[in-house]
Amino acid sequence: MSKKRFTAGLESLLSTPDDVALQSNALLAESTASKGKAAVAELPEKESKKHQGKRFTDDLQAFLMEAFEESFDRQMQHDRSAAEPEVKKRSTKPMDGLDALIRSTIEPKVHFDANTTRRLTVQFDERKLEKLKTIARTEKTLLRDIIDSIVEEYIAKWERQKKS
């Protein structure tokens, strides 16, 4: 026994309504025409089937390409906006609550290097010390960071005066 093919009548699934109308006209012409004329009318129908398949894949390819380009454009716009963050110098803020009690073991935020820092004992006037403490509380930063920034400013000012 030979293989049976069930392709007759399935062309309408992948075609547009205009193509269905053309096929129905071709079927009417085929039924009214003689066998010789029917063979001639059948040839363009086979060619149109081939073109329909190509047109379907071309349309699918164009649709997918357009969707890909839109997605790529959106991704590029998102990358551009994320690539331009503002750079601000901030002092580290102390953690609150449980975060202050739990030490990060994966990526420690504070790296102690014995060569870069030294302990220093300083005496301040009580009024000045209280003002510095209130400033530290309002800025939510450590008192030593504020004193460090004051010392940096003084050193920079002194170096500018010395160069002049």
CA pair distance 108, 110, nearest whole angstrom: 6
pLDDT the model gives residue 34: 45
pLDDT the model gives residue 116: 73
Q: By the 8 A CB rule, do 45 and 26 touch?
A: yes
Closest listed residue to residue 8, CA positions, set 19, 23, 18: 23
pLDDT the model gives residue 64: 86
Q: By the 8 A CB rule, do 94 and 142 touch?
A: yes
Looking at 83-125, list the stretches that DSSP marks H as alpha helix, in order from N- to C-terminal side: 98-101
pLDDT the model gives residue 136: 92
Q: What is the CATH number of domain 98-163?
A: 1.10.1220
Pick out the chain residues at pLDDT < 70.
1-54, 80-92, 103-115
